[in-house]
């Protein structure tokens, strides 16, 4: 059990049938009345944030989030299958749990699978991905305006914008958090 008076940034606990993480907290001791704790909390499953005040003596059950590095194997429609490289245990994950940045993940890539009490609630792809350009139009010669980009299709089927000098068949590095081109690989 954890009390509100012991809050620290990053602590996760159960609050009203949800798992929340402390983003910010402040112990307040007003001139009149009793002390309280003001906290900004983030729901780790939905990503929503809320601000709440607590009595410093309130107790909550601490939640342990397990982060396992797993290899993405394949998908069969709605289920995406991951394998723990150490134990060879395979788990299916529903497509609805995967974020938008999962479109940059190829088969056999390593991802972090986040779960609490055995229930998977998120999959974090690698921060950077090296992917092959399968289709892009050739750049227009003479178009030298700064930061001009063109659409490109990657080997995973995702589409992003790349600089004009990138050609079909080039391997590029992408930041999966922002979906932006970084450099040639």
How many Cβ atoms sit within 10 Å of the Cβ of residue 74? 11
Q: Please, what are the domains in the chain?
A: 2-60 (2.30.30.30), 65-124 (2.40.50.140), 128-184 (2.40.50.140)
Please report the pLDDT score of residue 144 as a whole number: 63
CA–CA gap between residue 3 and residue 83 (Å, rounded): 37
Q: Quick check: 82 and 73 in contact, CB under 8 A?
A: yes
Please report the pLDDT score of residue 18 as a whole number: 87
Whole-prediction pTM: 0.74
Please report the pLDDT score of residue 142 as a whole number: 64
Please report the pLDDT score of residue 79 as a whole number: 93
Average pLDDT, consecutive stretches of 10 residues, N- to C-terminus, the chain (185 residues): 89 89 91 91 86 93 90 92 92 88 92 87 90 88 72 93 90 92 90
């Amino acid at each position: 059990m954890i009390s509100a008076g012991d809050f620290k940034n990053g602590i996760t606990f159960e609050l009203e049938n949800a798992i929340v993480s402390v983003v910010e907290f402040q112990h307040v001791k007003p001139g009149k009345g009793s002390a309280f704790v003001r906290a900004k909390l983030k729901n780790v499953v939905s990503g929503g944030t809320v601000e709440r005040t607590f009595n410093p003596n309130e107790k909550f059950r601490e939640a342990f989030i397990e982060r396992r590095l797993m290899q993405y194997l394949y998908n069969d429609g709605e289920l995406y299958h991951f394998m723990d490289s150490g134990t060879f245990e395979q788990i299916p994950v529903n497509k609805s749990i995967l974020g938008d940045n999962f479109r940059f993940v190829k088969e056999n890539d390593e991802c972090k699978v986040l779960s609490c009490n055995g229930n998977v609630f998120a999959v974090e792809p690698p921060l950077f991905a090296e992917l092959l350009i399968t289709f892009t139009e050739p750049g227009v010669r003479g178009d030298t305006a700064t930061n001009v980009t063109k659409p490109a299709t990657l080997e995973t089927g995702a589409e992003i914008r790349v600089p004009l000098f990138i050609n079909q068949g080039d391997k590029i590095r992408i930041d999966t958090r922002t979906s932006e081109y970084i450099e040639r690989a």
